[in-house]
Amino acid sequence: MKKRKSVLWFANQMESVLQENDNKDGWDDCSVHWLLARLTHEVAELQEVFAGGDLDYVSHERVIEEAVDVANYAMMIADIIKKIPRPQKRDSVTGLIDSIRVS
């Protein structure tokens, strides 16, 4: 699969920030709700950058920094969620048959 240059560049930005914080414990023990609160905070910071409305005066560096923070928290949430075993789906026919057996 061919990787998009912009995705690779952004992923490198994300990894760089994560490595700057390698002295911290990581996110494996964080609750999804805490990470979601941090994500919401980072989105607000990104929105703040654009508060003036004039894109000619927006700091490109700050936009990238805040966008990377948003992406990292979103990635952390996805990483934790993917590790949680999913309950097996039961189709409606199996559920109906099981409910008849119980009755």
When comparing pLDDT for 59 and 99, which is higher? 59
Q: Is residue 99 domain-resident?
A: no
Q: Could you report the per-residue pLDDT of 21-53, keeping only the tens digit for each?
A: 999 999 999 999 999 999 999 999 999 999 988
* pLDDT, position 93: 58
pLDDT range class, residue 17, cuts 50, 70, 90? very high
Q: Is residue 102 domain-resident?
A: no
Q: Is residue 93 domain-resident?
A: no
Q: Could you report the per-residue pLDDT of 61-91, keeping only the tens digit for each?
A: 999 999 999 999 999 999 999 999 887 776 6
Q: Domain containing 27: what range?
A: 5-88
> How many domains is the chain built from?
1
Contact 68, 10 (CB under 8 A): yes
DSSP 64-94: HHHHHHHHHHHHHHHHHHHHSPPPPP--HHH
In 3D, which of 58, 64, 70 has the Cα closest to residue 6?
64
Q: Is residue 52 domain-resident?
A: yes
Q: Is residue 100 domain-resident?
A: no
pTM of the predicted protein model: 0.80
